[in-house]
Amino acid sequence: MPVEDNTREIESTIVTDLRERMSYGSYLGLDTLLASQHPRSEPEHHDELLFIIQHQTTELWLKLVIHELDDARRLLAADDLGAALKRIARVKHIQEVLTQQWSVLATLTPTEYAQFRGALANASGFQSAQYRLVEFALGNKHERMLKVFESSPDDHAALAAELERPSLYDEFLRHLARRGHAVPTAVLERDVRKAHVYSEELVPVFQRIYEGADDNWRAYETCEELVDLEDNFQFWRFRHLRTVTRTIGRKTGTGGSSGVDFLQRALDLTFFPELYAVRTRIEE
């Protein structure tokens, strides 16, 4: 039966006096978080808040992705593959949320965006230090990218440190070598400051893992988890490309890039090329 006044009684045990207690808002720092949206358009355009919140929430999720990838690498280095896979699984779910978020920004029409785009000046997602940290952690390193962050010492230092650190793929390959897989020495001793490039000698290692999955189940499972990570990252890139295309067409990016053409070229970048190449080699 419906409640007569359509309300729910507050239970007597619920804490209502929070003057000297930790509250939901204070725990989450909501005073700061919800006061951090500062539209720059004059007069303020209605849709600029959407643009700001879209990018701020993306940065919050990227912070968590970095947190999980950092620990996944630590766990791989300690040969704790099960726990590392849990971290990777969480990253995959975050990636799905990030990709779905583009559908919200895609409600911004070209006419609406044009009315406040000038207020961004040279601000651009290309300048996201956290996005670069994620790319570096997954292996797509580019030392010249650090120049973009010279005006932000903390970001520059974080990226410089990440440049020196083995990527997630590097740590997985080292784990495989410690487990007796014939990972080429050249791959294990490569310069981790550089982006990983395709190694023909590494493909047979993965072929043996895939064709002997029953005997190499955890390694096999990790290979597929990494493929999921890369696929998700490419889906995110593609949705970014399509959202930009429908919002600004082929205009130059606010940060000075060629816009859509620049984003299109990112789709050719790969983190784990051998995990895709091995599919052609697997015996039927």
Query: Looking at residue 150, which CATH number applies to its domain?
Result: 1.20.58.480
Q: Output the CA–CA distances (angstroms, integers) from residue 110 to 118, 122, 251, in the order listed.
A: 13, 18, 11
Please name the amino acid found at residue 218.
Answer: R
**H and E: helices and strands count for the chain:** 13, 0
Q: Tokens representing 89?
A: 């699984």
Nearest CA to 240 out of 227, 229, 253 is that of: 253
Per-residue pLDDT, 258: 81
Per-residue pLDDT, 268: 87
Q: Is residue 21 part of a domain?
A: no
Q: Is residue 216 part of a domain?
A: yes
Q: Number of structural domains, the chain?
A: 1
Q: Is 45 annotated as a binding residue?
A: no
Q: Is 19 annotated as a binding residue?
A: no
Residues 6+ apart with CB under 8 A from 239: 99, 102, 103
Q: Is 281 annotated as a binding residue?
A: no
Q: Is residue 40 part of a domain?
A: no
Per-residue pLDDT, 127: 92
Q: Is 113 annotated as a binding residue?
A: yes
Per-residue pLDDT, 284: 65
Residues 6+ apart with CB under 8 A from 14: none
- Do residues 97 and 61 lie in contact, with contact meaning Cβ atoms separated by under 8 Å? yes
Per-residue pLDDT, 239: 94
Could you tell me the residue range of the domain that residue 186 belongs to? Answer: 46-173+182-265+273-280
Please identify every stretch of the chain with a pLDDT value under 70, giving residue numbers as ranges. 1-3, 284
Residue with tokens 């053409």: 261
Q: Is residue 19 part of a domain?
A: no
Helix (H) or strand (E) holding 231: helix 217-248
Per-residue pLDDT, 283: 83
Q: How many CB atoms lie within 10 A of CB 186?
A: 10
Per-residue pLDDT, 1: 62
Residues 6+ apart with CB under 8 A from 26: none
Q: Is residue 37 part of a domain?
A: no
Q: Is 126 annotated as a binding residue?
A: no
Q: Is 51 annotated as a binding residue?
A: yes
278: left (phi over 0), alpha (psi -120 to 50) or beta: alpha
- Do residues 161 and 97 lie in contact, with contact meaning Cβ atoms separated by under 8 Å? no
Q: Is residue 15 part of a domain?
A: no
Q: Is 254 annotated as a binding residue?
A: yes
Side-chain half-sphere CA neighbours of 156 within 13 A: 9
Rounded-to-integer distance, Cα 34 and Cα 12, Å: 30
Q: Is residue 144 part of a domain?
A: yes
Give the sign of the dihedral formed by CA 170, CA 171, CA 172, CA 174. Answer: positive
Q: Is residue 3 part of a domain?
A: no
Per-residue pLDDT, 99: 97
Q: Tokens representing 182?
A: 């014939």
